[in-house]
Structure 1
Amino acid sequence: MTDVRSVRLSRRRLLVDGKPELVVAGEVHYFRLHRKDWADRLDRLAEAGCTAVATYMPWLVHELPDGSVDLDGRTSEYRDLAGFLDLAAERGLLVIARPGPFVMAEMKNEGIPYRVHDEHPALHPVGWDSVPVPTRSVDYLAPDFLTEVERWYGAIMPLIASRLVTRGGPIAAVQLDNEIGMLACVTGIPDLTDVVLDDFAAWSRDSLGVEDPVARYGLDRADAVAWRTGVRTPSGPGSLALHHDMSDYQRDRYARYVAFLRETAESHGVEDIPFLINIHCPSRARRRTYPLGISQLYRSYRGQPQMTSGSDHYVGDLTVENVAELYTGNAYMAAVHDDDQPLTSVEFEAGLGDYGEELSRMVPPAALALKTRLFVAQGNRLINYYLFAGGHNPPLDRPVGDGNDRIAFTGEYHGFTAPIGPEGEPNPSYPALRETVAAVSGAGPLLADMDEEYDDVALAFVPDHYLTEYCHPEDKERRAVVADLEQFRGTGSRDIPGRAMLLGGFSFPAVDLQSEWDTDRAIVLGSPTTLAADVQRKLASWVLRGGRLLLAGVLPQRDIDGSACTILADTLGLRAGLRSDHSRDTFPSVRATGWAPARAEVRTEALQHLSAVGDTDIDVFAVDAASGEPVGVEVRPGTGHVLVLSADYPCHLDFWTALLARLGVRPRHTHDATAPGTVVTSTVDAAGQRLLHLLNLSPFDQTLVVRRDGEPLLGDTSVHLPARSGRMLPLELRLDGGGTLAWSTCELAGTEAGLVLLRRTGTGDAALVVDPRDTANPGGTLHSWPDDPTACGQVVRIEVPVG
């Protein structure tokens, strides 16, 4: 049985018995496996190097038709949760418990028993125009639903409490519900029951101070029928404010729901362990939508003690196309965390990706390694590979006549693409997972207590720019505002600013512009037309005090309610002019000029003319190729320094690097790779020990020399990075006996008394060990090995004298 006695969140670390640890888990669904197969799947998990198992605990499975609950298998082996937890404990595995009430996981009703829907039909919400929503969602705060949740938690939580690590058991963390708000987000339909709308009316008065809703929304709260009808079918000049406020109100509903779940769990003894909130990913095709989940839920967990968020991550392969989206998704999560909340990933995509058995999608095993390496470089302390092992879907207790009468809609088998398939057979992603976990575990003690090092730049995060999940289908003005936000927000139009920063060698955090913030870093803001007046005011004040800003998009011109707002533009002394967007007959083009790197004119998807107001002095660095009008200008309001690029300029790395250099920002890490596609960042601990993280996302091999602040790293030795591969290279690692591993082109496999263990790459393998007692060799001893591709993965031992 595991001997862990405490798991806590502190300083953005996961402390296991007071010591920072990196926890690697895999998802195994006991309720989709015969009891006789549990040991094999858990053994496979441990064999892969994982130290924890995560599992849903579905209400739908454990509740019997009469409403009673079986958690020990007295009625079915699929319900023996207690036995599964004890088996995990016997293997020394920690457990991440995921008891719902919603679990999704392709289950019928998202894991809610049929009885709940049958007995409480009013739980099923209506949406736009009073039409019932098309999913099996419920009103989270409906009293009848909360009563049912209390019954479920009253059954499941005492079992969880009895097996917490604080009581000698294996359970180290508990996830509250799952993907809260996801169903409403993917359908674009909010919950608009009478109870919800009455509550929204009170919230708009109490939280926003909207004493006159007629002026703001064109609706009178005192007329309940007109109010409900008007919210369900918004129109007119107040619809923009109504859409925004209603979405913001949903954040508070989710926060109240999470608070209820936590309070209920704690009332049954589940306490003194971390709680997790899973942020859904509403679109597999485009990671750009991930911040919608952060926007919906951050108010539920930010600042809540011993609670943090976890990513829900399904992007397929990792390439130059989507790496910036994944990197900034983590950065946005961190931007709304407090000082104790670490990054975690509670659903980290594993397997080959053919979820529908269509052979329309296949994710290469290398993707798992690349994504894992990126996540640990950004400070993720918990990674749960989902789904680690497939299984089968048992029949429901009573037929419902839906075509298969099983617990899930995926057929008899489930998890076809998992590293360990439904029948226990490994697929090619399993060895990749095992090798990746071995590489991460070799540096695990370092990674667990390190933070990413950033350059002098941050990406702006504006949560309200992602309040776009709801848009009435007939509201043309709202649709236009949403389209503009979607085009320019976040990493910028076509993701180019964020991608250029990352592939240009920059490591950067995000800053939440809606919080109380101040920073000495330059800020890059993907700038839509809409930007809240309060945010504009803060940015304007910060710039006047010396802030450095790159606006990439269009010049903000309106507040969230649609009213004109040019606070930031007025401070910069700029006016927005003609906007031109690509269409069948229009091909806006831009030419860099002035101090910007000389280029031929380039096509863009959109541009906006800029002009100076009054005596504002502007330095033009990009123009509309057709008219010569400025689309890129430099201004210096107050003691600040601002670049405005109102055109989605292509991802020419030298151009974007030059813009940041103009603001005094240069990447600390540079390299001489001949083609783009390499991501470089580093992590450091309090003792100055570092790991250099290299990712080659390109489809061809790269050989490069890495420099830090202009000085060569790794003894000026070239690092060979095969296509689609990564490295975590130790720098200034302190060794027992007083020596130092100054650098190595091989990854760390671990340390032992008197030994450093390195994992060979087979090409250019070398390491420098410095022993201060070796006065005859103060520069250290260089260890190198001849190139040998067959040696890749072999562990070599370097003896280090112990004093």
Structure 2
Amino acid sequence: MFGVHAIPFIVNIHGTGGGRGFTFPIGISQLYESYTQAPGYLSGSDIYFGDLTMETFQDLYLINGMMDAVHRPEQPLSSIEFNCGDGNFGENYGGRYDPSAADLKARMCIAQGNRLLNYYLFAGGQNYRFNQVHGDGNDRIAATGERHGFAAPIDPEGYENYTYPRMAESIQTVMAQKEQLAAMEEERDSLVFGFIPDYFMTEYRYPKSHRMKMLYQNLETYRAHGAWEIMGRALLLANYRFTGHDVQNKELDPSEQKAIVLPSASYMSRSIQKKLVTYMKNGGTVLLYGEAPAYDMEGNKCQLLLEAANVEVVKTRHATEKQFLSVVARGLASPRPEVRTHVAQVFSSQDAEPIFQLYGTDELTSFKEQVGQGTLMVIGNAYRCDIDLFQKLLTSVGVQPTLSHDYKHHGLFMTSTRDEKGQRFIHVLNLDGLEKSFAIYEHKQMLFNRVNVHLDARAGLLLPLNVSYGSVKILYATAEVKWYQKTSMTFKGSRKGFVIFLQTKQVVQVGSGVMVKRLENHHYLLQAEQAECTITFR
């Protein structure tokens, strides 16, 4: 049209609220048909999380996965409103982001395959006044007053705020390996996180229908909150790497995904239940968290999923002021302490292996049962974020995390990316305000030649494995490349130091605070006793 062509349409997806992502999939469900209708479209997230913390990190990972779940094969992830700045949106200092906020969120997005990040709002400015008087109270191009972008890294007067240096350094680091990252995809374990778009289409409903009220209230209860904060967070802290899968519109193949974890409500369409049963009969594992479906999406009784496992829903129990509902661990979950819960779905089964039962009645609330060649596992009671439990459940069906670490207090996010040449990065984020030292393992073998990684408080690292920068190949490093040009490289790690093992035919020169050991076949081992070092080549 009008001579404009070969420019992709970008659809901006809104949905974060209150610093969380629970409602973001509503935006996906509203818009995904508009940007998956044909080639030439991109979707972009509009994400406002503030700081990336132990409270929120799984939200960002999951919404990226759910965007990916509905994409066409050629569509990459992107963020069109990637929130940056200090959070002072009302110019009242009611928001105060940590300088790490934009850095850590960008690192996670890039690790998951985002190819475009549009920092918003990067710079403030002036809202000019129209030449004509409109009588709307300010006669300006915008409604925010004379100035806009109070929270931006560069304020309306052009001054940099305290978040700018960290963000600029983060961008510089990513751009130092732009060619490598642009060709890499996240490596994933044989696991997907299920996404049902219809679960999030609850914003419009007939107000006088009791059946509709029961349906949407149940969906809103179980489609995100507990499943994200308990199961999703536990999986990521166990270092599982996964993406989303549109269970509603795409097929499931157990040869590609051994297991699907799925937030589940009492309502699920007959077609999805049937699809999950076929997947299990062919060897796949379905792990439900929330409630097992007892009805279809019109409120008609439908228990195809449970019937395949010879299980039936009996009722749902709720805790009260006088009834301290508690679950006792059985089977794979034992031995574990008894845990209070506020809600539990009760099942009837002759053969299902119990995972949890109610104290005092021994009623079955969570179970594991074989379906054909596969397995159905249901956590039908609210539970705690038990990292070991969810890993044990998935490991029992052959789905183990490839990456692991030995830091016992958690607070680390870790994944990896690879290109077709075998070049890789280990992406690691420290979500806490304390320094950490830990070993990273792959297939239970310690990486980086058995050297620990040191990570400063609220910091991230892009750790290269067999990554080439021109004529220099980094075999491994416990630091990241901050700057690269043909004659020099700058590395940044922890203030406790780092090691670099590289291969080059050039002569390596370093400054003070760095020890160099030349090995055979043009290999060099460098040990830095500081946070940064620059290596020159000639």
Distance 2:358 2:93 in 1: 45
Distance 1:587 1:382 in 2: 49
The correspondence of residues 626-665 of structure 1 with structure 2, limited to 5 A, is: 626-665=360-399
Gaps in structure 2 of 5+ consecutive residues: 508-517
CA gap 1:375/1:653 in 2 versus in 1, 3 angstroms: same
User: Which amino acid in 2 is paired with 1:458?
Assistant: V
Q: CA deviation at 1:534?
A: 0.7
The correspondence for 1:557, drawn from 286, 290, 294, is 294
The correspondence for 1:747, drawn from 473, 480, 487, is 480
The correspondence of residues 190-589 of structure 1 with structure 2, limited to 5 A, is: 267-281=1-15, 283-396=17-130, 398-490=132-224, 492-493=226-227, 495-520=229-254, 521=257, 522-589=259-326
Q: CA deviation at 1:582?
A: 4.2
Q: CA deviation at 1:322?
A: 1.2
User: Which amino acid in 2 is paired with 1:783?
Assistant: L
1:781 paired to 2:524: yes
CA gap 1:404/1:751 in 2 versus in 1, 3 angstroms: closer
CA gap 1:566/1:694 in 2 versus in 1, 3 angstroms: same
CA gap 1:597/1:372 in 2 versus in 1, 3 angstroms: farther
1:11 maps to which residue? Answer: none
User: Which amino acid in 2 is paired with 1:578?
Assistant: K
User: Which amino acid in 1 is paired with 2:288?
Assistant: L
Secondary structure in 2 matching 1:355? coil
Per mean C-alpha deviation after superposition, the further-off stretch among 757-766 and 518-527 is 757-766
The correspondence for 1:796, drawn from 529, 534, 537, is 534
1:56 maps to which residue? Answer: none
User: Which amino acid in 1 is paired with 2:480?
Assistant: E
Distance 1:587 1:391 in 2: 57
1:222 maps to which residue? Answer: none
CA-based RMSD of the aligned residues comes to 2.2
Q: TM-score with structure 1 length normalisation?
A: 0.63
User: Which amino acid in 2 is paired with 1:649?
Assistant: Y
CA contact (8 A) 2:59 2:228 kept: no
1:602 maps to which residue? Answer: 339
Q: CA deviation at 1:365?
A: 1.5
CA gap 1:736/1:496 in 2 versus in 1, 3 angstroms: same
1:58 maps to which residue? Answer: none
Q: CA deviation at 1:473?
A: 4.8
Distance 2:408 2:522 in 1: 31
Distance 1:397 1:532 in 2: 57
Secondary structure in 1 matching 2:122? strand
Q: CA deviation at 1:540?
A: 0.8
CA contact (8 A) 1:631 1:645 kept: yes
Per mean C-alpha deviation after superposition, the further-off stretch among 625-634 and 495-504 is 625-634
Distance 2:234 2:102 in 1: 23
User: Which amino acid in 2 is paired with 1:482?
Assistant: Y
Secondary structure in 2 matching 1:482? helix
Q: CA deviation at 1:471?
A: 3.3
Q: CA deviation at 1:755?
A: 5.0
Secondary structure in 2 matching 1:728? strand
CA gap 1:565/1:425 in 2 versus in 1, 3 angstroms: same
Distance 2:141 2:320 in 1: 48
Distance 1:441 1:315 in 2: 24
CA contact (8 A) 2:16 2:49 kept: no
Distance 2:403 2:185 in 1: 16
Structure 1 residues 386-437: Cα deviation after superposition (integer angstroms, max 9, x where no partner): 0011112223455454443433332222111100111111111111211110
User: Which amino acid in 1 is paired with 2:166?
Assistant: A
Q: TM-score with structure 2 length normalisation?
A: 0.92
Q: CA deviation at 1:603?
A: 2.1
Distance 1:777 1:597 in 2: 53
Structure 1 residues 533-578: Cα deviation after superposition (integer angstroms, max 9, x where no partner): 1111111111111111111111101111111111111112111122
Distance 1:396 1:584 in 2: 62
Per mean C-alpha deviation after superposition, the further-off stretch among 563-572 and 743-752 is 743-752
CA contact (8 A) 2:173 2:483 kept: no
Secondary structure in 2 matching 1:608? strand
Distance 2:319 2:46 in 1: 34
Distance 1:624 1:779 in 2: 65
CA gap 1:740/1:406 in 2 versus in 1, 3 angstroms: closer
Q: CA deviation at 1:358?
A: 3.1
Q: Which structure dedicates a bigger proportion of its chain to helix?
A: 1
Per mean C-alpha deviation after superposition, the further-off stretch among 479-488 and 271-280 is 479-488
1:762 maps to which residue? Answer: 495
Distance 2:437 2:214 in 1: 46
- The count of corresponding residues between Structure 1 and Structure 2 is 525
User: Which amino acid in 2 is paired with 1:572?
Assistant: A
Distance 1:422 1:751 in 2: 33
Q: CA deviation at 1:483?
A: 2.1
The correspondence for 2:466, drawn from 728, 732, 736, is 732
Distance 1:524 1:723 in 2: 32
CA contact (8 A) 1:461 1:490 kept: no
Distance 2:301 2:91 in 1: 51
Q: CA deviation at 1:581?
A: 2.9
Q: CA deviation at 1:326?
A: 0.7
Structure 1 residues 174-203: Cα deviation after superposition (integer angstroms, max 9, x where no partner): xxxxxxxxxxxxxxxxxxxxxxxxxxxxxx
Q: CA deviation at 1:723?
A: 1.9
Q: CA deviation at 1:292?
A: 0.5
2:410 maps to which residue? Answer: 676
CA contact (8 A) 1:468 1:482 kept: yes
Structure 1 residues 441-469: Cα deviation after superposition (integer angstroms, max 9, x where no partner): 12211111100000111100111111111
1:54 maps to which residue? Answer: none
Distance 1:541 1:559 in 2: 17
Structure 1 residues 334-363: Cα deviation after superposition (integer angstroms, max 9, x where no partner): 111111111110100011112112332221
Q: CA deviation at 1:277?
A: 0.8
The correspondence for 2:328, drawn from 575, 582, 591, is 591
2:356 maps to which residue? Answer: 622
Q: CA deviation at 1:659?
A: 1.3
User: Which amino acid in 2 is paired with 1:375?
Assistant: C
CA contact (8 A) 1:527 1:555 kept: yes
The correspondence of residues 19-168 of structure 1 with structure 2, limited to 5 A, is: none
Secondary structure in 2 matching 1:535? helix
Per mean C-alpha deviation after superposition, the further-off stretch among 684-693 and 348-357 is 348-357
Secondary structure in 1 matching 2:365? strand
User: Which amino acid in 2 is paired with 1:762?
Assistant: R
CA contact (8 A) 2:16 2:47 kept: no
User: Which amino acid in 2 is paired with 1:767?
Assistant: I
Structure 1 residues 287-311: Cα deviation after superposition (integer angstroms, max 9, x where no partner): 1100110100000011421211000
